[in-house]
Amino acid sequence: MEDVLFNRNSARPHGGHPIDAASWKSGSNAVRTSPGAGLPFPLNALFSLVDSHRGYAADCRELAGLFASLRGRYPLEKLLGQVIRARFPRVWLERFLFILLEARPSDWQTGAYALQFRHLKRLLLRVERRTPLNAAETSLARELIQALSLSGFPDFEEFCRKASATFKGIRAGGTPVSGDLGLLVYLIRCESRAMEERKNWLELGNGGGDPETVARLSPRLRHLEDRVFRARDLAARLGGYAPPSDLLMGLEESMGAGAFAELR
C-alpha cells in the first residue's frame, strides 16, 4: 500500500488566512464600561470574571480560583445570594449558570468517538485513491502503513476491531495485555494527529476570510481542537496505566472534591 503514496508532497491549496477569532468579536472591552465597575468586592470580581468569558473550561478554573481565595473570608452562600438579588443581565446569568454546570466529557465518550477512526480511515482511503496528500498527511500515512504492515485499506479494519475490543475490556474492568494496550494507545494518538490535520486544513484551506464561512466553520474548528486535546489526554492516561475517568463537573475538577462538596 505504501507505494501508492506520492514521492512528492502535494499540499492542498490554502486560500485566505488563518481565522483570527478575536477579529469576529463584537464590541471592544477597552472602550465599554463594565456594569460591574461600581459593585463591592467580591461581587465585582465575580461579575468581571463571567463577563469576560474566555471559554467555559477556562472560566471554571478561574471561578474555582476565586472561590478558593474567598474560603474562610467570605461565605459563598452570601455571594450567590447577592448574585440573585443583583438582577444582572440575562446573558450574564446564563453564562454563570453554564459555568457552574460545565461538564467534561468522560474518557468513555472520548474513546467512543476516537475509536471510530474516521479521520484515519479517510486518510487511508485517499492513499488508495491516489489523492494528493500534503507533507503531514504523507508522513502519518507512511508511518501507519509501515507500523501495521498494511497492504490495503481492508487490513486496517482488523486493527480497529482489535483496539475497540481492548477498550471495551478496560471499561468492563479487565486488564489488557501490553501488546493490545500498545496498539490501542498508538491508534488513538494517530487518530488525534489525523484530526488535527483535518482541523488545520479546514482552518487554512477553506476560510478564505469570508465572514459567513468563518462563522460556519468556527464552532467545528473549536470542537475538533477539543477532541484532539481529549484524545491525546486519553492516550496519555491509558499509556500510563491510569484508569479512564468518568464524567466530571468542571468546577469539581478545578476545585477538588472537598471544596466542591462544600459549594454544593
Across 106-110, 126-130, 229-233, least confident range: 106-110
190 and 132 belong to one structural domain: yes
- The secondary element (H helix, E strand) that includes residue 11 is none
| Residue 163 placed within a domain | yes
In this prediction, residue 206 carries a pLDDT of 57
Would the pTM of this model clear 0.85, i.e. be above it? no
44 CB-contact burial (10 Å; exposed 0-12 / middle 13-18 / buried 19+): middle
For 208, the domain range is 107-246
Does 237 share its domain with 256? Answer: no
Does residue 4 lie in a domain region? Answer: no
Cis peptide before 42 (omega within 30 of 0): yes
Instruction: Specify the number of domains making up the chain.
Output: 2
Looking at the structure, do residues 155 and 175 belong to the same domain, yes or no? yes
Measured N-to-C along each axis, helices 43-52 and 76-86 cross at an angle, to the nearest 10 degrees, of 70
Does residue 3 carry a pLDDT above 80? Answer: no
Q: What pLDDT, on a 0 to 100 scale, did the predictor assign at position 256? A: 76
Report pLDDT digits (tens) over 135-160. Answer: 999 999 999 999 999 999 999 999 99
User: Where does the pLDDT of residue 92 fall: very low under 50, low under 70, confident under 90, or very high at 90 and above?
Assistant: very high
How many C-beta atoms surround the C-beta of residue 70 within 10 A?
A: 17
- Looking at residue 23, its pLDDT comes to 31
What b-and-e string marks burial along 248-263, b requiring 16 or more CB atoms within 10 Å of the CB? bbbbbbbbeeebbeeb
The predicted structure's pLDDT at residue 117: 97
Q: What is the mean pLDDT of the chain?
A: 82
Q: Are residues 129 and 155 in the same domain?
A: yes
- Residue 135 sits in the same domain as residue 60: no
Say yes or no: 95 and 125 in one domain.
no
- Is the predicted pLDDT of residue 224 greater than 80, yes or no? yes
